[in-house]
């Protein structure tokens, strides 16, 4: 497969537009709504997870329930593609890349994210996750030879200043969960570090998935990536978990189903389709709307703090990422 001359980063020109210079306006608008819907559904995932944690479910058990409930939907997608003769041949290279990207996003990123949520607020977690466009930019510079400007660097610095502001504000926040004995950090710091690692893993998925999505199609790629992640999660639970822990209160199964279908299956397909139609750059920029929903829902449903500092930090981060998207003219390298 020929390598694309324009790698997916949140600061480069719109990838979909580059691939389709005469792309119809309504197609771009459709991609916009797909990206916005994906961001909105992804953003409320933390709310359901926090509600499930109130019943004492552990991370390994919940993530296995989530993936087990989501897996039938992806198997159905693959069966439908095959039945409708829409299955596309998968080369060894694309198969390996799909598996690796699936492990990065739906396994590693989810695992780190769920662990991070045990220690920090849902709104702080979501804002850290939504730093991934800056990480996509950095990955593009490091591995794909992408250029960046001083304006883009300034936007990145401002976004991380916003995160530091919320980190400072949340120093007195506690979920009541103690950090492991071998961790020499407080709960907020440890949760933030885990969540940032999750954002980095997700950035790898976004940065390197665009070409293979265009080759296999959004549905086929997403379903195969989810199958790979499901296998890894099952192996992880088999090694670390106790099968009797699957006996959970009924609400836990309800929240797992909501996370699996409403916050995983639907938005993952929507996001892959959005990347295919409008490119990773625009999709990442639209995704910055997600933290607003999380912040409001966390305050109303979970009773988490919503101070002017949180609002200020969120505004700084989202504004920085939006300006980052607008700074599309590469001038010089770091």
The tens digit of pLDDT for each residue in 120-164 reads 998 889 889 878 878 888 887 777 666 667 777 788 888 888 888
**Residue 19 is assigned to a structural domain of this protein:** no
**Residue 133 is assigned to a structural domain of this protein:** yes
**Residue 13 is assigned to a structural domain of this protein:** no
Between 11 and 254, where is the model more confident? 254
**Residue 9 is assigned to a structural domain of this protein:** no
pLDDT at position 25, please? 58
Taking the C-alpha atoms of 151, 153, 157 and 158 in order, what is their torsion angle to the nearest 10 degrees?
Answer: 20
What residues does 273 pair with on adjacent strands?
none
pLDDT surpasses 90 at 49 = yes
- The residue-averaged pLDDT of 58-85 equals 89
pLDDT confidence of 116, banded at 50, 70, 90? Answer: very high
pLDDT surpasses 50 at 302 = yes
What integer best gives the mean pLDDT of the chain?
Answer: 81
**Residue 3 is assigned to a structural domain of this protein:** no
pLDDT confidence of 333, banded at 50, 70, 90? Answer: very low
pLDDT at position 144, please? 66
The number of angstroms, rounded, from the C-alpha of 175 to the middle of its chain's C-alpha atoms is 23
- Residue 34 near residue 274, CB atoms below 8 Å: yes
- The residue-averaged pLDDT of 225-234 equals 90
- Residue 127 near residue 293, CB atoms below 8 Å: no
pLDDT surpasses 70 at 16 = no
**Residue 190 is assigned to a structural domain of this protein:** yes
What residues does 148 pair with on adjacent strands?
332
Residues of the domain holding 136: 35-326
Query: Whole-prediction pTM value?
Result: 0.78
pLDDT confidence of 244, banded at 50, 70, 90? Answer: confident
- The residue-averaged pLDDT of 52-57 equals 93
pLDDT confidence of 331, banded at 50, 70, 90? Answer: very low
> Structurally, how many domains does the chain consist of?
1
Place of tokens 């119809």: 24
Number of Cβ atoms within 10 Å of the Cβ of 59: 20
pLDDT tens digits, one per residue of 85-98:
889 999 999 999 99
pLDDT at position 248, please? 92
**Residue 30 is assigned to a structural domain of this protein:** no
pLDDT at position 257, please? 93
Please name the residues in contact with 279: beta carbons below 8 A apart, sequence gap of 6 or more.
Answer: 8, 14, 15, 16, 17, 18, 19, 210
Q: Is residue 148 classed as helix, strand or coil in its secondary structure?
A: strand
- The residue-averaged pLDDT of 104-125 equals 91
- The residue-averaged pLDDT of 242-258 equals 91
pLDDT at position 288, please? 66
**Residue 29 is assigned to a structural domain of this protein:** no
The number of angstroms, rounded, from the C-alpha of 272 to the middle of its chain's C-alpha atoms is 12
pLDDT tens digits, one per residue of 252-286:
999 999 998 898 788 878 887 888 777 776 776 67
């Amino acid at each position: 497969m020929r390598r694309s001359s324009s790698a997916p980063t949140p600061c480069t020109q719109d990838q979909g537009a580059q691939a389709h210079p005469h792309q119809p306006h309504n197609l771009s608008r459709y991609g916009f709504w797909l990206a916005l819907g994906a961001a909105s559904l992804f953003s409320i995932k933390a709310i359901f997870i926090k509600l499930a944690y109130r019943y004492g479910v552990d991370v390994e058990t919940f993530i296995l329930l989530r993936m087990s409930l989501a897996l039938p939907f992806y198997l159905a997608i693959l069966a439908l593609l095959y039945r409708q003769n829409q299955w596309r041949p998968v080369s060894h290279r694309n198969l390996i890349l799909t598996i690796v990207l699936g492990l990065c996003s739906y396994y590693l990123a989810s695992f780190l994210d769920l662990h991070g949520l045990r220690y920090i607020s849902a709104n702080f977690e979501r804002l850290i996750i939504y730093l991934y466009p800056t990480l996509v930019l950095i990955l593009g510079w490091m591995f794909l030879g992408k250029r960046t400007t001083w304006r883009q660097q300034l936007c990145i610095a401002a976004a991380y200043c916003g995160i530091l502001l919320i980190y400072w504000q949340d120093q007195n926040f506690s979920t009541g969960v103690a950090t492991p004995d071998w961790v020499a950090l407080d709960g907020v710091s440890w949760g933030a570090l885990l969540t940032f690692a999750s954002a980095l893993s997700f950035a790898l998925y976004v940065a390197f998935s665009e070409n293979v999505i265009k080759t296999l199609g959004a549905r086929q790629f997403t379903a195969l990536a989810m199958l790979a992640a499901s296998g890894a999660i099952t192996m992880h639970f088999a090694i670390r978990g106790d099968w009797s822990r699957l006996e959970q209160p009924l609400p836990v199964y309800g929240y797992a189903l909501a996370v699996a279908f409403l916050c995983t299956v639907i938005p993952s397909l929507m996001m892959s389709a959005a990347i295919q139609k409008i490119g990773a750059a625009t999709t990442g920029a639209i995704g910055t709307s997600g933290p607003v929903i999380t912040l409001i829902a966390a305050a109303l449903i979970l009773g988490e703090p919503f101070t002017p500092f949180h609002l200020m930090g969120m505004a700084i981060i989202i504004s920085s990422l939006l300006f980052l998207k607008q700074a599309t003219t590469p001038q010089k390298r770091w």
